[in-house]
Structure 1
């Protein structure tokens, strides 16, 4: 019941006022209303006049949380009147609650004004007692009275206010952390989807593109040509290799391989490695494109660099056999102490105007992104009458996170 009332400030204030009014009536009935047990008032007023100041103070108290500054100012006026004519304890109790409410609900400026007012009242009360009585016991009594009924509630209210502020700050911080965690999870899922899109592009679209090109070469040669048997054998080899790579990916995604990171790279390396470059060359040759390979890669390559170089060569050969069929293709591998270089060149077909930035297709963008993933770079651009794909991959790769703007999800053609 009280929890529902506490959620509505106005009803809560009214409930508090009624509770203090009931307490004041109990004190009145027990004849404990007057401070010190006797009136001491210069005015000859009936005893029930203390109920008038009590009711007035409680009415002012009803503004304790909605307008705490106004409630405190009006309550001071009522207390001043009561001190002059009735000197009742119950009104001071109401002032104690109003001071607590100001410390808890009011703004910083209002609280500072209340501090100054309390200090002024304390100084005035002490000076008045010294001027009238001159007894240090009376001064001590006044100070204890103000400490118990005004200063202590203010301190308690400020402590609760600071605690609430700290709790609110902690809730906001927790919410911000939760939002950042959710955003990180979403980014991780998006990155994984993009990685899978690149792998599917390299595996499925790549081998299917090779099969399509080889099938076209077999159709051109005719069923009786000896080239047809060679092409069909290469098609079968490509199909088996594609199934093997798909099986490897399914094992990784299904969690059958408990290793991650380097383990996944070793899985890919079983079917994608420069040691298997001859398969790519054979596929391009059976499609009708002469291919020459010069240079060689270091015998021991990091798995991530080995897979990345293989995928780049596969994509470059696919683009070359598709856009410049039957044209000679050259592949050059080289290595320094720090980098592996891969260059693929093929003549530009007549009337073909590729994009100047080398990122006009999904395949070219994926090549660049793969190189960046190991800390290298890859570009494809026309050079004279040739199209040149040039990649430089560090032999000690440091993974660099790819920005979302660089990622291409949709698959294009790849070998």
Structure 2
């Protein structure tokens, strides 16, 4: 069954941005068209003059100016600064010919759009420019009319004409910025919630692993030990039924303990990047050998084990010890011969990794590292009831480990 692909958050955000731009462009055209219709109506009824005297400018010139500034108004939100600049030039021409209401109405809308949609620097510049324009136009009115009252009245009208769209645009812009900040805060809270959820899941996985290890695994180990003790007390053969039951209990508890340890490894895999979800085994040793040879080391390996009789825990632990040993050899003894011997006895798996240590004249062999890697190998062996020795010899460095085939639950 095919499931539809879910769009990513970035794709949804891009689609929303494109839809918003198209909607604004459509609104700009509608607003500019409305301004043009209103202006044409005012010209038709003769209610367009802002001055006191009749205008001698031909109607065709007035309509051409109105159409030009209305065309600039179609870019009010996409290019607000450029649209306002063009509109200011056309308004200056209209002022020289005799100011008219339709042109100045479109100019007020351009001022509003520049403050609302322009960048912060453009918005501030428009606010300062409109204030300066009010002062300059009021002074020009006083100089031209030589009438203080008339100039003051003109200044008040100009202040109201310009400050109203500026104030309204600033209020809307502030609300938009607050909404954007709230959205960003909500996104941050969502990310924090996701991180908390992931941490809670990891904590729960670790808690489950600890509970399985400390409680259930210990009980299974006790069952395995006690059943083995009962079988070894010399009662074998006296009661075949009892022998079969004890043997089944022993086998079942050991198998359950093996699977329990594998489950613990899986639960801890997410928090431990060195432990993949599917534990690697000795059958994957060839990958390590190929990598070491690719690094220039000559590797000789002898592996004599029976995968069918190896538990997954012992198989995985042996692989990890071999991996760490080979890694240390390649790191501290580059391009040297590495000898690997893995042999399975009746009761244990024995691993031996040997490599020479490069040294100058008079140098004595010393520990290749002695860091976290050696401690990890030692802990792996001890957790399974085995032992591990790693150290320098006269002819190089050796790692020698013995891991029992049947993990000793008492050590758990």
TM-score using structure 2 length: 0.53
In structure 2, C-alpha distance between the alignment counterparts of 1:69 and 1:362, rounded to whole Å: 74
More divergent stretch after superposition (98-107 vs 130-139): 130-139
Q: Calculate the aligned-residue CA RMSD, in Å.
A: 4.1
Cα drift, residue 69 of structure 1: 0.9
Cα distance in 2 between the residues matched to 1:137 and 1:190:
78
SS of the counterpart of 1:34?
coil
Provide the residue aligned with 1:56 in structure 2: 68
Residue aligning to 2:28: 13
**Aligned mates of 1:361, 1:88 — CA distance in 2:** 91
Give 1:5 shift.
8.2
What residue in structure 1 maps to residue 102 of structure 2? 90
Distance verdict in 2 for CA 1:56–1:355, change over 3 Å: closer
- Given that 1:6 and 1:12 are in contact with CA atoms closer than 8 Å, whether structure 2 keeps it comes out as no
Find the aligned partners of 1:362 and 1:81 in 2 and give their Cα distance. Answer: 92
Match of 1:123 among 124, 128, 135: 135
Contact 2:221 2:408 in 1 (8 A): no
Aligned position for 2:41: 26
**Aligned counterpart, 1:35:** 50
- What is the alpha-carbon distance in structure 2 between the residues aligned to residue 412 and residue 194 of structure 1? 23
Equivalent residue, structure 2, for 1:142 = 154
Question: How many Å separate the matches in 2 of 1:211 and 1:9?
Answer: 75
Gaps of 5+ in 2: 1-18, 257-347, 353-372, 389-406
Corresponding residue pairs, total: 257
Indicate if the aligned counterparts of 1:5 and 1:11 stay in contact, CA closer than 8 A: no
Paired position in structure 1 for 2:81: 69
Indicate how the Cα distance of structure 1 residues 89 and 5 shifts in structure 2: closer, same or farther if over 3 A, else same. farther
Q: Which of 207, 217, 241 is matched with 1:195 structurally? A: 207
Does the 8 Å contact 2:42/2:102 carry over to 1? yes
SS in 2 for 1:8: helix
Give 1:6 shift. Answer: 7.3
Residue deviations 1:236-290 (CA, integer Å, cap 9, x gap): 9xx9xx9xxxxxxxxxxxxxxxxxxxxxxxxxxxxxxxxxxxxxxxxxxxxxxxx
Report the equivalent of 2:174: 162
Of 226, 231, 235 in structure 2, the residue corresponding to residue 214 of structure 1 is 226
Give the aligned partner of residue 114 of structure 2.
102
Q: Deviation per CA, 1:128-147: give whole Å up to 9, x if none.
A: 12212222222222222222
CA deviations 1:36-79 (Å, max 9, x no partner) are 4643x5xx322343211111110111121111111111111100
Partner of 1:185: 197
Relative distance call for 1:412 and 1:176 in structure 2 (3 A) is farther
Once residues 412 and 98 of structure 1 are traced to their aligned partners in structure 2, the CA distance between those partners, rounded to angstroms, is 84
Distance 1:26 1:203, change over 3 A: same
Aligned equivalent of 1:114:
126
Partners of 2:91 and 2:103 within 8 A in 1: yes
Report if aligned partners of 2:134, 2:159 keep a CA contact under 8 Å in 1.
no
Judged with a 3 Å threshold, the aligned counterparts in structure 2 of structure 1 residues 5 and 30 are, in CA distance, closer, same or farther, namely farther
Counterpart contact for 1:61–1:94, Cα < 8 Å: yes
Preserved CA contact (<8 Å) 2:25 2:78: yes
Q: 1:70 to 1:33 in 2, by over 3 A?
A: same
Whole-Å separation in 1 of the counterparts to 2:378 and 2:220: 22
**CA displacement, residues 187-208 of structure 1 (integer Å, 9 cap, x when unaligned):** 2232122212211222322222
Structure 1, gaps ≥5 residues long: 243-348, 365-380, 383-410
Cα deviation for residue 87 of structure 1 reads: 1.8
Partner SS, residue 152 of structure 2: helix
Q: Please point out which of 345, 355, 360 is paired with 2:379.
A: 360
In 2: Cα distance, 1:160 partner to 1:106 partner: 13
1:372-398 Cα shifts (integer Å, max 9, x gaps): xxxxxxxxx99xxxxxxxxxxxxxxxx
Structure 1 residues 66 and 412 mapped into 2: Cα distance closer, same or farther (>3 Å)? farther
Alpha-carbon distance between aligned partners in 1 of 2:199 and 2:29, rounded to the nearest angstrom: 51
1:53–1:195 distance in 2 versus 1, CA, 3 Å: same
